[in-house]
Chains A and B, each alone.
Chain A
């Protein structure tokens, strides 16, 4: 590879007790690229992106950002590099309203006090821009539908103008229309020169938006191919390990 990618992960290994969740995995993410990360349950997809987003620390391996070695120890380190994540479990506080959830960790203040009006106005604006329909940003997260909750998690990840957005199964349990919105959003992010890591079990979705597909199986990388050079049958075969 001639050009240095935005993210280069090398020989990433992670153990949980005696279980090797990841073994010597290499993973690259280019500028303005959507990479699909696929694999069966327990293949290590979430573990890999949790290492990239600072939730887990790897036991072995190196991460390079724009060619420079970086040490991502906490979610804050990742955020400082411009890496935002929509986790599978969304990371919403159920008893907070939409606005507070959007700004958790980046709370705007005025004279040392929370600027609630700003939080509400901005959340409304951001969600509107993303085409997310929520009647009021004062609604409590617990009372929202699964799709709405997911939409907020996505909105939260993209509003701070990151360079990389990681989406761990953002379309799971979404209605058809909501899924389409998320996929369109990914393409829009790419148009804005952002890079996206997209995890999904639905290969149609993966093929419809990604540039490259990385397949993990039992903690190892088994394939890394341009989306145009492979097909669903091949990917499924690689995922389940059949010949």
Chain B
């Protein structure tokens, strides 16, 4: 190999770490322009706020790493949210409610995977339709009304609102899921095959990999992460909100696309998701502190994603995700 020139080295660094550096710049920017941004309290709060977004995006990462897409996550979050709350309300049995939440999540994933991977519907269409059906069932069941929990148990509230020492419990859940995702994606046969399918499905087929089966698995993993997110969200809200979670779709897509600009060779990564979720959450937090109207935050987020992805393409990064 020829020696890397100065310019090439600069490009490599910018390509792999540019988004992270931009994140640090934004962080420093907010630290100077707002009074309470750079405090331990706000830092922990941001970690808490980003925890659910990170968990749901990590599931999405598996689908996207295999070259797929999951549009259903937003509405399914709402669906599981109300069913989880409702089961808890009627039985008071927390482990049972969590189990059923996970079951619904994996069933949704199974359906998405069956339609997209086995029958061959475009991912976008299959998961969009399933999301729509999920919203319909959600609304049919609740009539659009929240499910309020009478005297929710301590254990239930702890999931979304508790603290272990100074650290919010959802943050611990987030790091646990993050570590699991990193191990599976980077260190296991499953992760390697998922990335291979996303990188070149024909190569994966030639290598004797059951592409359909692995794609199905990624949708189930996404469904499970949606369920985990919903459980934390329900506890945090203390009730089942039919339309909770709708924002997660847009945010998770932003986070996952941001992650493709970091660390790897154009594929979404777990590390990238963590940094991406932090950037999105930091923007929400910082802009709120600067008293920027909430609708402007959507515009900012859109611009950030465009900037990040554009600059990485200009730096020679080839985006792996195709739609």
Contacts and interface: CB of A to CB of B under 8 A. Distances in A.
A59 interface: no
A1 to B, nearest CB: 31
A104 B207 contact: yes
B209 A105 contact: yes
Interface residues of A, number: 31
A165 to B, nearest CB: 14
A85 B207 CA distance: 10
A112 interface: yes
A139 interface: yes
B80 interface: no
A91 B1 contact: no
Contact of B208 (A74, A87, A139, A142): A74
B320 A95 contact: yes
B269 to A, nearest CB: 11
B16 to A, nearest CB: 12
Interface in B201-215: 202-210
Given A107-B189, A114-B188, A136-B1, A93 B208 contact: no
Given A104-B209, A139-B1, A142-B265, A92 B200 contact: yes
B207 A91 contact: yes
A155 to B, nearest CB: 14
B248 interface: no
B264 interface: yes
B123 interface: no
B208 A75 contact: yes
A93 B189 contact: no
Interface string B172-196: 0000000000010001110011011
A55 B187 contact: no
Contacts of A53: 206
B195 A96 contact: yes
B200 A91 contact: yes
Given A95-B265, A112-B188, A136-B1, A79 B208 contact: yes
Interface of B: 1, 183, 187-189, 192-193, 195-196, 199-200, 202-210, 264-267, 318, 320
Interface of A: 53, 55, 74-76, 79, 85, 87, 89-96, 100-101, 104-107, 109, 112-114, 135-136, 139-140, 142
